[in-house]
Chain A
Amino acid sequence: MHHKFDVNILRRAEVAFERRSFIKKNPSGAFSTMTKLMQWLFGVSLLATAWAVVTFDLFGLSFPPEYREVAWPMPVYLLVSFGCFSLATVGYRVATFNDCDEAARELQDQIKEAKEDLRKKGLKL
């Protein structure tokens, strides 16, 4: 138990070290070394910041009112669009999920052939 605890710490230190060396050599590759969760959080915070800056007019950059009107409901729009896209995609994929009837028939035939051949070769069940 104790040994496994040490191994996990060592493994994490190893991964962190590899990650740091990689980023030093390829600064632009930092994104790809993040976990998927970190990538999502990073992306979401970028979008959230951009949205907040426009909607609440942070930094006193006076955007034209049209920008603010469009930006304000964006999060809801995007979520709903994604929801619809997901439903449509999964629905389409279920509808076009191939049914391998021929493969099943072929398998049945081959099972008969195999049993016969194995019996001849001396297999006893």
Chain B
Amino acid sequence: MASRKTQPPNRDSKDKYSVLLPTYNERENLPLIVWLLVKYFGESDHDYEIIIIDDGSPDGTQEVAEQLQKIYGKDKILLRPRAKKLGLGTAYIHGMKHATGNFIIIMDADLSHHPKFIPQFIEKQKEGDYDLVSGTRYKGTGGVYGWDLRRKLISRGANFLTQVLLRPGASDLTGSFRLYKKKVLESLVERCVSKGYVFQMEMIVRARQLSYTVGEVPISFVDRVYGESKLGGNEIVSFVKGLLTLFATT
């Protein structure tokens, strides 16, 4: 009996999503994040690839990545390792060089960002043809898990200061779970000079400067690194320095 094959709607579009995963010592988390990515991309039936950029992790992350490549295929898992720990901006540039997607998704590989939001990012992007879609912890159903009062206070306080000084038109500037059009990411990375948290902030500020449109999707940020004080005095000082630099130069 002749059966009429109907194309699943998402496969009709020629869009392909390249996920950039910079890793350093993520031996345990890498298989889990890849499994989740494969699950949610599979369910939403979008074309994708996962690019793992490992900075010479001493814990064997690269070996795990190679195993994953055998399991899921070389067309879905791409390895772009580097010799040592270099900056995030250069990791994106390095990862994009061989990306075959027209959209790039950046996220953390430590499971604080959950791939279940990616289909929502994609839908949001199509909604308004946004140049970039940013995951926000501060609006709507967005939130965090595992943060004490001190951390929440510092986070909201810093975000408030950023809103007042930079008026960026986006609620979460230090977040690193985003979807970019490939051309947009390329043009932004070459213009940004900051490091760390401030790099992510600068990306959005420059995007606004260049009149790119920014969409937002609420996300949940699950912090599993207990006990490790990621917000010490040094981090706060360098954040303020970076913020003031952006204030004075953009």
Binding site for B on A (CB under 8 A): 35-37, 86, 89-90, 93-94, 97-101, 103-104, 107, 110-111, 114-115, 117-118, 121-125
Does B1 interact with chain A (Cβ within 8 Å)? no
A114-B35, A121-B71 known; A93 and B138 CB under 8 Å? yes
The 9 closest A-B pairs by CB, nearest first: A98-B143, A100-B220, A103-B220, A114-B35, A104-B145, A100-B145, A100-B143, A93-B156, A37-B248
- Between-chain CB contacts (< 8 Å), 8 pairs: A35-B248, A36-B165, A89-B160, A90-B153, A98-B220, A101-B145, A122-B67, A123-B31
Judge if B170 is at the interface, Cβ distance under 8 Å: no
Bound Cα distance from A90 to B160, whole angstroms: 7
Q: Is the CB of B160 within 8 A of A37?
A: no
User: Which residues from chain A contact B68 at a C-beta distance below 8 Å?
Assistant: 123
B159: chain A residues at CB < 8 Å are 93
Known A35-B249, A107-B114, A114-B36; contact A97-B160, beta-carbon cutoff 8 A: no
Specify which of B167, B222, B250 is in contact with A107 (CB 8 Å cutoff). B222
B111 touches A114 (CB 8 A): no
Bound Cα distance A50, B167 (Å): 24
A56 to B39, CA, bound (A): 70
Residues on A with C-beta less than 8 A from B144 are 97-100
Interface flags for B130-141 (1: CB within 8 Å of A; 0: not) read: 000000001001
Tell me which residues across on chain B come within 8 A of A36, comparing CB atoms: 165-167, 246-248, 250
B221 lies within 8 A of chain A by Cβ: yes
Contact of A100 among B153, B221, B248 (CB under 8 A): B221
The verdict on B32 contacting chain A, using a C-beta distance below 8 Å, is: yes
- Nearest Cβ distance between residue B110 and chain A, in whole angstroms? 12
Asked if A98 and B146 sit within 8 Å, CB to CB, the answer is no
Q: Which of B35, B71, B156, B249 contacts A97 (CB 8 A)?
A: B156
CA distance A107 to B141 in the complex (A): 17
**Are A99 and B167 closer than 8 Å at their CB atoms?**
no
A115 pairs with B32, CB closer than 8 A: yes
A103 to B145, Cβ gap below 8 A?
A: yes
A37 touching B222 by the CB < 8 A rule? no
CB distance from A123 to the nearest CB of B (A): 6
Measured CA separation A35–B209 after assembly (Å)? 10
Given contacts A97-B143, A122-B67, 12 further A-B contacts (CB under 8 A): A35-B247, A35-B249, A93-B156, A97-B138, A97-B152, A98-B143, A100-B144, A100-B221, A104-B145, A114-B32, A114-B35, A124-B67
Q: Which residue of B lies closest to A8 (CB)?
A: B193
Is B225 in the interface zone, CB < 8 Å from A?
A: no
Residues in B124-179 with C-beta less than 8 Å from chain A: 138, 141-147, 149, 152-153, 155-157, 159-160, 164-167
The answer for the CA separation of A42 and B149 in the assembled complex, in Å, is 37
What chain A residues lie within 8 Å of B143 (beta carbons)?
A: 97-100, 103
When chains A and B are docked, how far (Å) is the Cα of A4 from the Cα of B219?
39
Given A99-B143, A117-B35, A124-B67, A107-B111 contact (CB < 8 Å): yes
| Cβ contacts under 8 Å, B31 to chain A | 114-115, 118, 123, 125
- In the docked arrangement, what's the CA distance between A107 and B39, Å? 13
Give bound CA distance, A123 to B222, whole Å. Answer: 25
Q: Which residues of A contact B79 (CB under 8 A)?
A: none
A114–B247 alpha-carbon span in the complex (Å): 44
Is the beta-carbon distance between B149 and A37 smaller than 8 angstroms?
no
